[in-house]
Amino acid sequence: MRNLLKRCYQCGRCSGVCQLSKVQKYTPSKIIQLILEGFEDKVIESGVLWDCLTCNQCLKDCPEEINFADIVRMARWKMRHIANQNPDELIAHKGMYTTISEIMSRPYIQPERSLDWVSKGCKISDKGTTLYYVGCLPYFNYEFENSDSIAKSTLKILCQIENEPIVVFKDEICCGHDIYWGQGKLKTFIKLGKKNMEMFEKAGISKIVTACAECYRTFKVDYPGIFDDFNDKFEVKHIIEFIYDNWKQNKIKFKNPSESSERIPFTYHDPCRLSRFLPKDNNITEKTREIFKEFKRLGYDFKEMEHNKKNSLCCGVSSWMNCNEKSKALRYKRMLEAKAAGDIMLTSCPKCKIHLSCLQDDFEDIASIEIMDFSEFLVDHIEIINPDKDTEITE
């Protein structure tokens, strides 16, 4: 950990770009220098690192590519286990979601999840090559209205395009993203990872599709970091990539089911996990734009928010940590940008959708913006080219 930090030459740029620093005093460069000069204890003791959004804005702008969010993640482990700090009160929703994943990591736990959200006509299976990894969405449904519509849309898209049934696990467990980043619980994370891998292998999976930015980053980067052969065994696709690839291979095209001639302005909120948390050569943000460009033909006008792609503003909360008034200020900033750009704001991270929608209850001036997930928006706009199979999916 320290050797990575030692590349720092104290340019201070991170502290200036830090999104959190816009609402509270927070200076990564100073924290790094304190650690380098041997005051790590003080940093740990102060508990300041619990505040980090792990949005990776600092890494995006660091000339030495120092991964501060990683440092925070590791430090959080120390803060909990060595300094005995208990951040539970900082965890939103009384820690319910992190507790669920904690429970799932136990070897003897096999959850039985509701599959009510699966549309009729969607052929699913518990064995096969292509897995739709659903993530927490069905659990969210208890607190956040209609969360499973993202899952519903995604599965519909997959079933339309793929000939074979899509694998959906009834006993799917958590990817571990939140306890890994929010709590620094590496052991639990590894347990979840192992369990997941076993399940994937057992079911004969070779391709994993997800609609969640966090799951995607976890499978794409964090699992391979721990399990060397993960990427050899499984191809991981975000639903954006999945749609993009099929579009490029001329298997699908885009249509507009609406008859209205009115042009609809829309914008897109890049989740940090898809914009700043992926390897340099991953161009999912550009692929997203390419699809939106095509939507111009269909009567939509895509407009960027002021901060977009790798500079995208944070949705305010990460891994269920620190939902407070500062977080609301960050979210409000984001919503104002969205309002200036379009009537609809798409995103591709269920949590971004939840956090930003939540604020709409508090502030009337931003309530009019329709916040949708990428899948929810796309599901009605896809047309299969040369359909060999009859795929009429009904409710």
Partner 1 sequence: MEGSVVVIGGGIAGIQTSLDLTELGFKVYLVERNPSIGGRMAQLDKTFPTNDCSLCILAPKMVEVFRNPNIELMTYHEVKKVEGKPGDFTVTVLKKPRYIDETKCKGCGDCAAKCPKIEVPNVFDMNLGKRKSIYIPFPQAVPPIYVIDPEICLKLTKGVCGVCEKVCQAEAIDYEQKPQEIKLTVGAIVAATGFDMPAEELTSRWGYQYENVVSALEYERILCASGPFDGRVLRPSDQEEPEKIAFIQCAGSRDLHENIPYCSSVCCMYTAKEAIITKEHSENSNCYVFRHDIRAYGKNFYEFTQRAQKDYGVQYFQTKVSTVVEDHETKDLMIHYEDLKTGKFNDFHANLVVLATPLVPSKGTEELAQVLGVEVDKYHFFKEKSFFNKCLSSKDGMFLCGFCQGPKDIPETVADASGVASQVANLLNSVKYTEIKEKVFEVPEMEVKITDEPRIGVLVCHCGINIGKYVDVSGVVEYVEKLPYVVHCEANLYSCSPDSQARIKEVIQEKNLNRFIVASCTPRTHEALFQETCQEAGLNKYLFEMVNIRDQCSWVHMGDNEGATAKAKDLIRMAVAKARLLKPLTEASLDITPTALIIGGGVTGMTAALNIANQGFKAYKVEKEDKLGGNLNNLNVLYPIQEDAAILLNVIQDKVKKHKNIEIFLKSQIKDVKGFIGNYNVSIAMNKKSQGLKIGTIIVATGAQELKPNGDFQYNKKNKNIITQLELEQKLKEKDKSWLDNIKRVTTILCVDARQKEGITYCSNVCCGVSIKNVSILKELRPDLEIVVLYRDIQMAKKEFEEYYRERRKDAIFLRYDLDQIPTISKKGGKSEKYDIKVFDTNLQDEIEFETDLIILSTPMIPADNLDELAKMLKVPLDKNGFFLEAHVKLRPLDFATDGIFLAGCAQWPKNIQDSISQANGAAGRASRFLSAKTIKTSGLIAEVNPERCIGCGKCESVCPYNAIEIKEASMEFEDVSLVLKKSFINSALCKGCGTCAATCPNGAISVKHYDFDQIFAMIETYLLD
Closest approach of partner 1 to the CB of residue 21, in Å: 7
Q: Are 189 and 179 in contact (CB under 8 A)?
A: yes
CB-based contacts of 202, cutoff 8 Å, min separation 6? none
Q: Are 175 and 213 in contact (CB under 8 A)?
A: no
Hey, is 306 helix, strand or coil? coil
Does 11 interact with partner 1 (rule: CB under 8 A)? yes
- Range in contact with partner 1 (rule: CB under 8 A) among 23-31, 185-193, 211-219, 375-383: 23-31
- Range in contact with partner 1 (rule: CB under 8 A) among 30-38, 90-98, 117-125, 167-175: 30-38
Closest approach of partner 1 to the CB of residue 274, in Å: 17
Cα separation values, 64 from 14, 56, 225, 359, Å: 11, 14, 21, 36
Tokens of 301: 């006008």
Closer Cβ to partner 1, 10 or 110, answer by number:
10
Closer Cβ to partner 1, 59 or 155, answer by number:
59
Q: Are 320 and 182 in contact (CB under 8 A)?
A: yes
Q: Are 318 and 183 in contact (CB under 8 A)?
A: no
Q: Which of 85, 119, 141, 311 binds partner 1 (CB under 8 A)?
A: 311
Closest approach of partner 1 to the CB of residue 99, in Å: 38
Closest approach of partner 1 to the CB of residue 186, in Å: 23
Tokens of 230: 């993960």
The pattern of x and - marking residues 33 through 62 that bind partner 1 according to CB under 8 A reads: xx-xxx---------------------xxx
Closer Cβ to partner 1, 39 or 254, answer by number:
39
**Residue 319: is it exposed, middle or buried by C-beta count within 10 angstroms (0-12/13-18/19+)?**
buried
Closer Cβ to partner 1, 27 or 360, answer by number:
27
Closest approach of partner 1 to the CB of residue 301, in Å: 19
Does 23 interact with partner 1 (rule: CB under 8 A)? no
Q: How many residues bind partner 1 (CB under 8 A)?
A: 31
Closest approach of partner 1 to the CB of residue 15, in Å: 5
CB-based contacts of 168, cutoff 8 Å, min separation 6? 115, 118, 124, 125, 126, 131, 132, 134, 155
The pattern of x and - marking residues 343 through 382 that bind partner 1 according to CB under 8 A reads: ----------------------------------------
* Amino acid identity for residue 149 in this structure: S
Separation of alpha carbons 158 and 51, rounded Å: 38
Does 30 interact with partner 1 (rule: CB under 8 A)? yes
Q: Which of 40, 51, 64, 304 binds partner 1 (CB under 8 A)?
A: 64
Q: Are 236 and 216 in contact (CB under 8 A)?
A: yes
Q: Which of 1, 24, 41, 65 binds partner 1 (CB under 8 A)?
A: 65
> DSSP assignment, residue 335?
H
Closer Cβ to partner 1, 338 or 359, answer by number:
338
Closer Cβ to partner 1, 4 or 115, answer by number:
4
Q: Which of 10, 110, 114, 258 binds partner 1 (CB under 8 A)?
A: 10
Does 93 interact with partner 1 (rule: CB under 8 A)? no
* Residues 175-194 within binding reach of partner 1 (CB under 8 A): none
Please name the helix (run of DSSP H) or strand (run of DSSP E) that holds residue 290, with its range, or none.
helix 284-295
* Residues 156-175 within binding reach of partner 1 (CB under 8 A): none
Query: Residue for token digits 């956090």?
Result: 355
Tokens of 59: 């890494």
The phi, psi pair for 197, rounded to 5°, reads -60, -45
The pattern of x and - marking residues 100 through 119 that bind partner 1 according to CB under 8 A reads: --------------------
Separation of alpha carbons 312 and 290, rounded Å: 18
CB-based contacts of 287, cutoff 8 Å, min separation 6? 240, 241, 244
Does 7 interact with partner 1 (rule: CB under 8 A)? yes
Q: Which residues bind partner 1 (CB under 8 A)?
A: 2-3, 6-17, 21, 27, 29-30, 33-34, 36-38, 60-65, 310-311
